[in-house]
Chain A
Amino acid sequence: MMIISIASGKGGTGKTTIATNLAVSLGGDVQLLDCDVEEPNAYLFIRPEIHETKTINTSVPEVDMKKCTLCGKCRDICQFKAIVIMGKTVLPFPELCHSCGGCMRVCPEKAITETGREIGVVERGSRNGLEFVHGKLRVGEAMSPPLIRKVREYARPGALTLIDAPPGTSCPVITAMKGADFVLLVTEPTPFGLHDLKLAVGAVKILDIPCGLVINRSDMGDNRVREYAKGQGMPILMEIPFDRKIAEAYSRGEMLVEGMPEWKEKFLNLYHRIAEIISQTPRPE
């Protein structure tokens, strides 16, 4: 099993472009897991045939007021203010619940049982032998990590798994990067790109995963990103200059390697460079 997470820090740098074109350029047993469950875009380019749709629920408490003695232990244990006492009733707030199960366990009257809150759907499909999975967060659902974890469960041993991660550096991105063999960071050579790249590198270091860089729109901006990468000893694995034709094709939902087949070779080279770094990195068992 090899897992490569494509992340960035700053939004809009080209993660999905890299993830989808890399997936389609590779042969063999490849999976693309779109873990940007808040705004999944990969399917717009891959156009997979969907074989399976699963609604994903998370457990939230339901209180039987006939058994409840209003002792308040559920409210006391909850760290998320997701269950409160209002007058003579116990009110769960399912949207705030993190599904830790504490209130159910602590209730001395066994008055709290499990019901579900829908967090989103997971869809699985394929296109030309490429396995595709994504999660779509229900609009109004606050937390994406539980759905991201569900998408990641589809990673198969023996396959090469590419993960399209969300932007940012907080818990959703960590959930999409944790346990990967390599993180490919995609940036743009601008002050915003550099600032957020440093945060992303910080996250990757906390997870102790080898990483490399792709610089997108590489001729628009300045040299500070390259200088930073050099200072960090972070390899620059690919550069894509700004090309209005590429931007326009992207705007229409066209895959880069289909419109400009010469790019397929570049993505294959990118993969080989990543595989080489992974093979040279000592990993704990």
Chain B
Amino acid sequence: MKELIIISGKGGTGKTSLLAAFASLAKGMVLCDADVDAADLHLIMDPRIVERHDFESGHTAVINPDPCTQCGLCRELCKWNAISEAFIVDPIACEGCGVCYYFCPEKAIAFPQDTCGEWFLSDTRFGPMAHARLGIAEENSGKLVSLVRQQGKLLAGKKNLDLLLTDGPPGIGCPVIASLGGATAALIVTEPTVSGRHDMERVAELAAFFRVPAMVCVNKYDLNPEMGQAIEAYAKEKNMTVMGRIPFDPVFTKAMVQGKTIIEYDPHSEGAAAVKKSWEDLARHLGL
């Protein structure tokens, strides 16, 4: 089984739109939405949820005012200033380290586990899908990303499918790190802008650090072909295969508004043609 993770560095380069289009073209795959913080793939995939589970991870301290003598040790120890002068823990500031809970002389602090999101196994018109929703303002996104990918792999094994297509998050932090580890290959979708290039270089460095072979695809290419070429030259220098150039095509947005992939919405559009070519190159490269 092979896993292709789609990342970008910069947000808004078109990861989810492209992955949805690939889903239209690929045969025999499982989809995974690992952008748990702001998951959008389901808006196109229209999943029918088969299984729903709570995501329990981390803890938050709660001070019980009765046994509390307001000795102040918890406030002294808390590295996040999460405990107010009135000895109330701010759940947003609380890091869940447990130090106050461990050292409270009156055992006045409870440390319940948090339910910080949920994950789903679903069916879509293109195949099975593993996805999740992290609660607003929650932490532990890396853990939920790892869980969703693991569930995607299990689904692929169960249904005898060879390909896991994973929508990754933007940035280079813990959710991206959690989405890279063990992936067969990463496709970095970028845009021909100074920001796109800058961010692509950082996430490419991250992929190299985790020894995940990376490929680069420049989306909205015609906005700045010179920059597009500079990005492709950089990719080649770093031994990253260039996987196609997608033109800026308003059809991508129109398709999204209709809840369709670009291939479904307008298979004869410039954008669709470019995506098909990219997918053919990708599939060949991955040996699918």
- A contacts, CB < 8 Å to B: 9-13, 16, 38-39, 41, 44-45, 77, 79-80, 98-102, 105-106, 137, 139-144, 166-172, 174, 178, 190-192, 195-196, 199, 202-203, 206-207, 220-222, 244, 247-248, 250-253
Complex contact A12–B12 (CB within 8 A): yes
Complex contact A101–B9 (CB within 8 A): no
Whether B92 sits at the interface, judged by CB under 8 Å, is yes
Task: Report whether over half of chain A's contact residues are helix, strand or loop; otherwise say mixed.
Answer: loop
Contacts of B141 in A (CB 8 A): 170-171
Looking across the interface, which residue of chain A has its beta carbon closest to that of B40? A192
Are A143 and B206 CB-contacts (below 8 A) given A79-B98, A101-B77, A178-B92?
A: no
Complex contact A102–B97 (CB within 8 A): yes
A98 to B10, alpha carbons, bound, how many Å?
26
Interface contacts beyond A101-B79, A169-B136: sample of 15 additional A-B pairs, CB < 8 Å, sorted by A: A12-B10, A38-B202, A39-B199, A79-B97, A98-B95, A100-B95, A100-B98, A170-B137, A170-B138, A191-B257, A191-B259, A196-B38, A206-B137, A220-B250, A221-B257
Whether B142 sits at the interface, judged by CB under 8 Å, is yes
- The 8 A CB mask of B95-109 against A (1 = contact, 0 = none) is 111110011000000
Looking across the interface, which residue of chain B has its beta carbon closest to that of A244? B223
Shortest C-beta distance, B214 to chain A (Å), equals 13
Contacts of B11 in A (CB 8 A): 10-13, 167
Complex contact B134–A170 (CB within 8 A): yes
19 contacts between A and B (CB under 8 A): A9-B38, A13-B11, A44-B194, A79-B59, A167-B11, A167-B170, A168-B38, A168-B170, A191-B40, A192-B40, A196-B38, A202-B136, A202-B137, A203-B137, A207-B137, A220-B250, A251-B193, A252-B193, A252-B227
- B contacts, CB < 8 Å to A: 8-13, 16, 37-38, 40, 43, 58-59, 77, 79, 92-93, 95-99, 102-103, 134, 136-139, 141-142, 169-174, 177, 191-196, 198-199, 202, 205-206, 209, 220, 223-224, 227, 248, 250, 253, 256-257, 259
Complex contact B137–A169 (CB within 8 A): yes
A10 to B170, alpha carbons, bound, how many Å?
10
Our pick among B95, B136, B138, B202 for the contact of A39 (Cβ within 8 Å) is B202
Contacts of A202 in B (CB 8 A): 136-137
Contacts of B10 in A (CB 8 A): 11-12, 39, 41
Complex contact A38–B198 (CB within 8 A): no
Complex contact A10–B40 (CB within 8 A): yes
A28 to B227, alpha carbons, bound, how many Å?
35
Our pick among A39, A100, A105 for the contact of B9 (Cβ within 8 Å) is A39
